[in-house]
């Protein structure tokens, strides 16, 4: 029986593709384990959603793009993470490591290389993140969601495969979505997704316009951890820090989305034909990957884009109204969208690597 060790974490996006692939591996009688951090979001997501997958924690530091004394301390955490990962891999003896990125994946990829275990790295965004830039030096193969990414990675070991979407996200129940939220079918549902850590700017703008918006929509607001406002009392507004298994049911009742522009999320919206207003992370908080993702979706006619520095009450409402005016055209354009590779096709490739 073959075995794959999945890794990746820190954000929802670094776990979503793994959650899509794990059931496909298990269908093929491949044992799955997951190597993640001790307290990262991946631990909760995998424990809740990945059936029959053992979760194993290792030490991990944080990779920063700026000078900080914490970087020095984290060098030692990463080194310990490599030691931890080697110990896990020697015990579990996987045939392959599949990494989705995030700082926890770097020690795992380095350890796998030292043990001559084949490794695959997946990059969802247009430009590789810092973790994947490091990991690709040690990886056997890299697969990309965007074709444009091939300009930034070693061609000799990289392939464009397109988006990989969790199959269960298509199977949500409207009845369950309405039950969970207390909503009904009288008003359309607007889903607000601020990313794993939440968006203060987006949260504040939504709440400042809440009286206006809840006349037109019922709102599901995913605020990010620590960003709930329990003083708000409105029958057309519900808020959650984070959801996992409930998301597919929320998608089933959603009409329109306002979101950050993480690649996995926006590909899910396109697959489900949900018109989206994207507010990408700015350059003050990121390397600009979400800005690049949003530009491509805007160019293809799948989304409207509002830069974070332009977010205010009037601009948010104006862009949302424009999105609704063009929703039929946007949905028509998204009808041309398709996943470039199915999970089955990707796993045919993966099985070639573990023969």
Q: In this structure, what token pair is assigned to residue 239? A: 């808020």
SS3 95: coil
Q: Which residues contact 91 (CB under 8 A, 6 or more apart)?
A: none
Rounded to 5°, the CA angle 166-82-146 comes to 35
Q: How many CB atoms neighbour CB 281 within 10 A?
A: 21
Beta-strand pair 218-222/237-240:
parallel
207 is in an annotated binding site: no
86 is in an annotated binding site: no
Beta-strand pair 218-222/276-278:
unpaired
Closest CA to 307 of 202, 191, 223, 200: 202
Q: How many CB atoms neighbour CB 212 within 10 A?
A: 13
285 is in an annotated binding site: no
Question: Can you say how many angstroms the Cα of residue 54 is from the centroid of all Cα atoms in its chain?
Answer: 21
Report how far apart, in Å, the C-alpha atoms of 340 and of each of 198, 307, 337 are: 30, 28, 9
What span, in angstroms and rounded, lies between the C-alpha atoms of 185 and 89?
A: 50
- The alpha helices in 254-288, defined as continuous H runs, are 263-271
Cite the annotated binding site by residue number.
166, 196, 290
Cite the annotated binding site for UDP-N-acetyl-alpha-D-glucosamine by residue number.
166, 196, 290
């Amino acid at each position: 029986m073959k075995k794959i060790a999945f890794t990746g974490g820190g954000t929802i996006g670094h776990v979503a593709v793994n959650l899509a692939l794990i059931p496909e591996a298990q269908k093929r009688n491949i044992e799955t384990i997951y190597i993640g951090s001790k307290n990262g979001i991946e631990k909760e997501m995998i424990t809740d959603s990945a059936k029959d997958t053992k979760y194993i924690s290792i030490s991990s530091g944080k990779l920063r793009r700026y000078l900080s004394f914490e970087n020095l301390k984290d060098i030692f955490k990463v080194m310990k993470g490599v030691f931890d990962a080697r110990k896990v891999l020697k015990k579990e003896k996987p045939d392959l490591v599949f990494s989705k990125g995030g700082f926890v994946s770097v020690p795992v990829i380095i350890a796998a290389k030292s043990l001559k275990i084949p490794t695959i790295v997946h990059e969802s965004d247009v430009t590789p993140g810092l973790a994947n830039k490091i990991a690709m030096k040690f990886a056997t193969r890299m697969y990309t969601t965007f074709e444009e990414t091939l300009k930034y990675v070693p061609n000799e070991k990289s392939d464009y495969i397109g988006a990989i979407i969790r199959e269960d996200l298509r199977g949500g129940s409207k009845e369950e979505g309405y039950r969970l939220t207390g909503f009904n079918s009288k008003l359309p549902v607007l889903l607000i997704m601020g990313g794993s850590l939440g968006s203060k700017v987006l949260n504040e703008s939504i709440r400042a316009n809440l009286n206006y918006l809840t006349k037109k929509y019922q709102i599901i607001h995913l605020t990010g951890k620590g960003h709930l406002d329990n003083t708000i009392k409105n029958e057309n507004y519900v808020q959650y820090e984070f959801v996992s298994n409930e998301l597919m049911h929320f998608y089933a009742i959603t009409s329109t989305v306002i979101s950050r522009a993480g690649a996995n999320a926006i590909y899910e919206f396109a697959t489900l034909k949900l018109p989206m207003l994207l507010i990408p992370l700015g350059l003050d908080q990121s390397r600009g990957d979400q800005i690049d993702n949003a530009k491509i979706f805007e160019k293809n006619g799948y989304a409207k884009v509002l830069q974070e520095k332009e977010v205010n009450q009037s601009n948010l409402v104006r862009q949302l109204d424009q999105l609704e005016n063009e929703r039929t055209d946007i949905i028509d354009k998204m009808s041309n969208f398709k996943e470039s590779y199915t999970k089955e096709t990707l796993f045919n490739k993966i099985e070639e690597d573990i023969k």
